[in-house]
Chains A and B, each alone.
Chain A
Amino acid sequence: MAVRKSLLSQLKGVWVPAIVIIVWEAVVRAGWVNPQVLPAPSAVLIKWYQYLMPLEAYDPTQGSRLAWYFSGELVRDLWESFYRVLLGFVIGAGLALPLGLLMGASKHIYDYMNPLIQVLRPIPPIAYIPLAILWFGLGNPPAVFLIALGAFFPVLMNTIVGVRAVDSIYIRAGKNLGAGSFLMFRKIIVPASMPYILSGVRIGIGTGFICMIVAEMIAVNNGLGYRILEAREYFWSDKIIAGMFSIGLLGLAIDTVVSRLNNYLLRWHRGLE
């Protein structure tokens, strides 16, 4: 009974997209819109498949079949984009986390750093593009710089707030059980602020993802962002849309992984019952 119910409610979610696709296909086939402006979903799907598959036929002398499957343009773009966003995020969050912990825990460090942070924080990472290209040229470095910047501030701000919000009763309990400052930090302050830190991580990776697409449109010549801009040059609107859906799916995949990680790390937390 329960299974049937959940299947039914999942089916509900299929209707609206199905209708949208059917109407869309019908509108294009009826010739009401120029297919150059809005290609039919079937055309997008065909292009998507071509974008996914390698251009040359499989040649056993060149390597395994699996390697051949992964040599298509879409797979390479996905990998490039994913690698870039991951590297940028790791650098940005990797710098923000220790700084945030220090700023949250020490009033001194907070007072020294806060004015600078408050001035830099409202500048959208996108505004760093000219400087990024000036400093790092073209290619991966400016892109990774922008992504790191996009991830940095959300993680930093949430970490500061998280550390400051640690209930003093945990600190007192820790002291009473004999914890010194290092253990207090590692075993009490960091885990207690984890809910805040992780919501910063989720926002940070989202911002990093946006920065990744923008950076690829401007400074890099591969990746999903570059590909849809390139497709525009050739008026391949079907490939633009296929690329957009690919971007969406990559974003969804990353968010799902982060959300799973979040649920695992916060399995002790009241809010997640």
Chain B
Amino acid sequence: MAEQAQIEIRHVSKVFKGSGQDVVALKDIDFNISEGQFVCLLGPSGCGKSTLLNAIAGFSLPSEGSVVVGGHEVVEPGPDRGMVFQEYALFPWMTVEENITFGLKIKKAEPHKIEEKLQQLLKTLKLTDFRRRFPKDLSGGMRQRVAIARVLALDPPIMLMDEPFGALDALTRRSLQDELLKIWSDLKKTVVFVTHSIEEAIYLADRIVVMSYRPGTVKKDVHVEIPRPRNPADPDFNNLKRELSQMVMAEQNRFEQATLGSTGD
């Protein structure tokens, strides 16, 4: 089972039709993600990594090719692929408790099961004292914990994360990364995690898919063999970081030249 492809990305292309020329966001992306893998999609902004994540989530379907999850083609969003957004996307009119149990209530789970799950998640994510607070009263890190709990409540086999820790300060970020790794290894989830931080990708991932800028293609597929817990001061960590930095910087330069070039005409 471990080597079974859980997410198959089959020759996916995505073209955004603009008012001027069409933008090819993704071009012929083709790879598989196996069950339980922690995959980071890494690349400069605009490289289409979020577009690919949205295609897996079912928010925006590919122009060509298909995404197959668990043997079924993705045609719409679903609770089997829980999404954690960069902007938290908590419902501000609901308390922490209501946000977390929202999906379970939709599924019409039994009240005692909901309460049980809620207690467990509040404990795991250290939110017990905050269950009746509204999101506005929470810090960014707390909000993202609630967003993770909300997704975990439905026990999805796959978690999709779109730069979830991008807006957090370094310390909060590290502690949430550690908690995510713990959740991932305890609950055996498949995680697809979008980031533009090289260090974050190396710290977290089993596998880093480096994407190129327009058209978005897979530039390199790296398996990270460094044992966990990983130390950013470790020489292996730094060697990989240097290697990936060069790759990402090259793409970043291409991106800058492309945007500067396009202002000329």
CB <8 Å contact, A173 and B89: yes
Number of A-B residue pairs with CB-CB distance less than 8 Å in the complex they form: 67
Q: Tell me the count of chain A residues lying within 8 A, CB to CB, of chain B.
A: 21
A-B pairs, top 5 by smallest CB distance, nearest first, are A177-B103, A191-B93, A173-B89, A178-B79, A268-B134
A273 to B135: give the CA distance in the assembly, Å: 13
Q: List 16 A-B contacts (CB under 8 A).
A: A170-B89, A172-B59, A172-B77, A172-B85, A172-B89, A173-B90, A175-B77, A176-B57, A176-B82, A177-B79, A178-B79, A178-B107, A179-B106, A180-B106, A188-B91, A270-B136
State how many angstroms separate the Cβ of A179 from the closest Cβ of chain B.
6
- State which of A169, A177, A270 has its C-beta within 8 Å of the C-beta of B106: A177
CB <8 Å contact, A173 and B83: yes
Contact with B along A250-273 (1 / 0, CB 8 A): 000000000000000001111001
**CB-contacts of B99-156 with A (<8 A):** 102-103, 106-107, 134-136, 150-151, 154
A187 within 8 A of B: yes
CB <8 Å contact, B85 and A177: no
Chain B residues within 8 Å of A, Cβ to Cβ: 57, 59, 76-79, 81-83, 85, 87, 89-94, 102-103, 106-107, 134-136, 150-151, 154
CB <8 Å contact, B91 and A191: yes
A179 to B57: give the CA distance in the assembly, Å: 15
CB <8 Å contact, A172 and B83: yes
State how many angstroms separate the Cβ of A174 from the closest Cβ of chain B.
8
13 A-B pairs besides A169-B87, A173-B85, A270-B92 with CB distance below 8 A are A169-B89, A172-B83, A176-B77, A176-B79, A178-B106, A178-B107, A179-B102, A179-B106, A187-B102, A191-B93, A267-B134, A268-B93, A268-B135
With A170-B89, A170-B91, A187-B102 as given contacts, are A176 and B81 in contact (CB-CB < 8 Å)?
yes
A33 within 8 A of B: no
**CB-contacts of A77-112 with B (<8 A):** none
Neighbouring A residues of B94 by C-beta, 8 Å:
191, 268
Determine chain A's interface SS by DSSP, over half rule: helix
Of A176, A183, A187, A273, the most chain B CB neighbours within 10 A belong to: A176
A234 to B154: give the CA distance in the assembly, Å: 74
**CB-contacts of A119-153 with B (<8 A):** none
**CB-contacts of A171-208 with B (<8 A):** 172-173, 175-180, 183, 187-188, 191-192, 194
A199 to B125: give the CA distance in the assembly, Å: 37
Neighbouring B residues of A170 by C-beta, 8 Å:
89, 91
Neighbouring A residues of B59 by C-beta, 8 Å:
172, 175-176
